[in-house]
Amino acid sequence: MISSYKREPKIDENYDAIIIGSGMGSLSTAALLSKEGKKVLVLERHYVAGGFTHVFKRKGYEWDVGIHYIGEVQNKYSPIRKMFDYISNNKIEWEDMGEVYDKIIIGEKTYEFVKGVENFKSKMKTYFPKEGLAIDRYVQMVFDANKAMKKFYLEKTFPQFLSTLFGFFLRRPYLKYTSKTTHEVLNSITKNQELIKVLTAQYGDYGLTPKLSSFAMHASVVKHYFKGGSFPIGGSSQIVKTIDPVIEKSGGQIIVRATVKKIIIKKNKAIGVELEDGRRIFSNIIVSGTGVFNTYNQLISNDIAKKFGFKNQLKSLNPSVAHGCLYVGLKGDAKSLKLPKNNLWIYQDHIDHDSAVELYLKDQSNEFPLVYISFPSAKDPSWNDRYPGRSTIDIITLIPYESFEKWEGSSWKKRGSEYEKTKEDISKRLLEHLFKHLPNLRDKIDYYELSSPLTTKHFVNYQKGELYGIDHSPQRFEQKFLRPKTTIKGLYLTGQDIVSAGVGGALFSGLITSASITGVNFMKKIYQ
């Protein structure tokens, strides 16, 4: 059972591994180590575990914070499904979202993303009949990029001497996909900018526009959804609920409200952690799932960070985009309200993704560059049993951290009237997008609440309210230090920063981090 540090749970003097943070990367790492018999302690500063996989409840509703759909898990033989099954002992169940998982709305036009590779290609060709060759080439390049990716991440598990000898040869096939932007690649196979706009419409899933994002990141996300989207039955909290018993079985535990102040390093070796109250807990293995910026700027002293060159390494990276999410509660069930299972991606007409973002960043009174709408209560077949006669909607847009920076340092729920007015203005604008496409909901809203980048900073501890850790640009993939094992003995990293953005990336980070720590071939164990 997950316990709170405030209730003074029993904590042993030593653990086989201490993991900081309880996001998907941390949970995945903790589960894999636990299944190898390691006693693992997971320390989470928030009052709930799960990172972006956690839920919160308010006014009789429940909202999933970070998971809106996951690809491929409906296929029990897919890599991501087998990974989830392994770390949860087959306890997580999934609901297929159906034939259409995403609808791309550009002005008055709607494009459906349908499951199945051949179905997807056929559907795109009905929209763009003259672009058949380009669409085929695009899909093939997506598959080629993902095939090359495997050896790239395998190399990250190697000891340094093997990486020095063979690393380049394993990385090189993938680098031709990582080194180019998404727009560069797509523009090389088609000059139809509307097609490019449609094919890149899921850029919000990794937070970087086509002219800035690495094609490798784009390809990873797109392939992830080719076989459709699914939602965890019972909500995303089922992930941590099913992994917790796996950790406990080996004597480990998850403790919330346990803020790690610093990683204890002696003689260039990580030996433990110090909590906010001064308590010290020791282990020969320390894993940080808090992101590279937090790890090197917050958890390690400046002297040590400078000594090992971490500060210079961080100069090559940028934090990812911040966001706002409007959590909406409605009276009435999903069926009576005619809520769809599929997500809506809403964009302006006659402007490309990059230009739309640029205009918005210059002046936030301009139109949102994207609006994403998810209907979790329609996706989860268990929802009505838990919350009868109620429904929820999530509406997300990009919001720069700088637009809320003036309230930095203020307390949650105590940021003043101007802050609340700013949030209310954004909320009203987002609701109008909802009403445009589902006008029947205009008088059905019971409650809504907007999270800001400061909300993300407060609860998830990303200092700039970033949603996806670091930007997954071409430059990001050139950084050899983004690997599980750091140059400090006993200190490891996990999470989306060392693999790729999103739940899937964080999930597989656990695999390569655990392999780096133990030397175990988890690929063989999980996928044999």
What does the pLDDT look like over 387-444, one tens digit per residue? 999 999 999 999 999 999 999 888 887 889 999 999 999 999 999 999 999 999 999 9
Six token digits for residue 381: 């077949």
Query: 323: which strand partners?
Result: 398
pLDDT class for 95, splitting at 50, 70, 90?
A: very high
Q: What percent of the chain has pLDDT over 70?
A: 98
Q: How far apart are CA 140 and CA 51, in angstroms?
A: 34
pLDDT at 162: 66
What does the pLDDT look like over 254-266, one tens digit per residue? 999 999 999 999 9
Q: How far apart are CA 262 and CA 463, in angstroms?
A: 16
pLDDT at 120: 98
Q: How far apart are CA 91 and CA 361, in angstroms?
A: 43
SS (H, E, C) 77-89: CCHHHHHHHHHHC
290 in Cβ contact with 470 (< 8 Å): no
308 in Cβ contact with 488 (< 8 Å): yes
Strands of 215-350, DSSP E: 229-232, 253-256, 260-266, 269-275, 280-283, 286-288, 323-331, 343-347
CA 475 to centroid of chain Cα atoms: 20
pLDDT above 80: residue 167: no
pLDDT class for 158, splitting at 50, 70, 90?
A: confident
pLDDT at 26: 98
Mean pLDDT within 209-236: 96
Mean pLDDT within 280-290: 97
Mean pLDDT within 111-126: 98
pLDDT class for 454, splitting at 50, 70, 90?
A: very high
CATH classification number, 3-53+77-91+234-316+479-527, choose in 3.30.1950.10, 3.50.50.60, 3.20.20.70, 3.60.20.10: 3.50.50.60
| Residue 212 DSSP symbol | T
- Work out the number of other CB atoms within 10 angstroms of the CB of residue 129: 8
Place of tokens 């009505």: 384
The DSSP bridge pattern shows strands 40-43 and 253-256 to be parallel
Six token digits for residue 418: 């101007």
pLDDT at 161: 62
pLDDT at 413: 79
Boundaries of CATH 3.50.50.60 in the chain? 3-53+77-91+234-316+479-527
346 in Cβ contact with 371 (< 8 Å): yes
pLDDT above 70: residue 241: yes
SS (H, E, C) 232-248: ECCCCHHHHHHHHHHHH
19 in Cβ contact with 41 (< 8 Å): yes
pLDDT at 166: 64
What does the pLDDT look like over 308-358, one tens digit per residue? 999 999 999 999 999 999 999 999 999 999 999 999 999 999 999 999 999
Q: What percent of the chain has pLDDT over 90?
A: 90
pLDDT class for 16, splitting at 50, 70, 90?
A: very high
pLDDT above 80: residue 163: no
Mean pLDDT within 35-48: 97
CA 144 to centroid of chain Cα atoms: 23
pLDDT above 80: residue 528: no
Mean pLDDT within 53-59: 92
pLDDT at 165: 61
Residue 437, classed as helix, strand or coil, is helix
pLDDT above 80: residue 170: no
pLDDT at 154: 82
pLDDT at 411: 84
pLDDT at 260: 98
